[in-house]
């Protein structure tokens, strides 16, 4: 998910880095990150902050359970949630995928013990 989190243009200078080339002229080039840093120490916190922001920005079109699921049931990049019935699970996953899509995020993989997992609208079954 880190590569799905784009950096606001005004904040790119905070993620600036230089590459120095060895050679006769010793040139260096200035680069800026445009997406979240993969495997940095802050990645899990940034991902969770962005997910909560998506729930705050777009959550009013969804029920409270969906918003709370996005806010509280992600562990780093994994959604860890159970539901009482298969229909409730399908409805919740459908709503979460729709909410995240509005924020520009997408779930890419899913794992479920239920037989109804083929009804899920997003993610590739693993």
The whole-number average pLDDT for the span 8-17 is: 77
**7 is a domain residue:** yes
The whole-number average pLDDT for the span 56-64 is: 91
CA angle 50, 51, 54 (to 5 degrees): 85
Looking at the DSSP bridge assignments, the partners of residue 31 are 17
Specify the pTM. Answer: 0.63
In 10 A of CB 70, how many CB atoms? 26
**126 is a domain residue:** no
Range of the domain at 42: 2-121
The whole-number average pLDDT for the span 6-24 is: 74
Looking at the DSSP bridge assignments, the partners of residue 109 are 124
**73 is a domain residue:** yes
Number of domains in the chain: 1
CB 16 within 8 A of CB 32: yes
**47 is a domain residue:** yes
Is it the case that residue 80 has pLDDT exceeding 90? no
Please state, in angstroms and rounded to a whole number, the distance separating the CA atoms of residues 36 and 6.
Answer: 6
pLDDT band at 67 (very low <50, low <70, confident <90, very high): very high
Tokens of 117: 């997992």
Is it the case that residue 66 has pLDDT exceeding 90? yes
| pLDDT attached to residue 63 | 92
**53 is a domain residue:** yes
């Amino acid at each position: 998910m880190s590569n799905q989190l784009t950096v606001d243009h005004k904040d790119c200078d905070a993620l600036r880095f230089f590459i120095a080339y060895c050679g006769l002229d010793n040139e260096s080039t200035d680069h800026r990150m445009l997406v979240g840093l993969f495997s940095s120490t802050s990645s899990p916190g940034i991902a969770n902050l962005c997910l909560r922001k998506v729930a705050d920005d777009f959550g009013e079109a969804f029920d409270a359970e969906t918003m709370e699921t996005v806010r509280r049931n992600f562990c780093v990049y994994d959604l860890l949630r159970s539901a009482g019935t298969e229909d409730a699970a399908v409805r919740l996953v459908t709503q979460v995928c729709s909410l995240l899509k509005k924020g520009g995020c997408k779930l890419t993989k899913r794992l479920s013990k239920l037989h109804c997992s083929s009804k899920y609208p997003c993610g590739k079954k693993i």
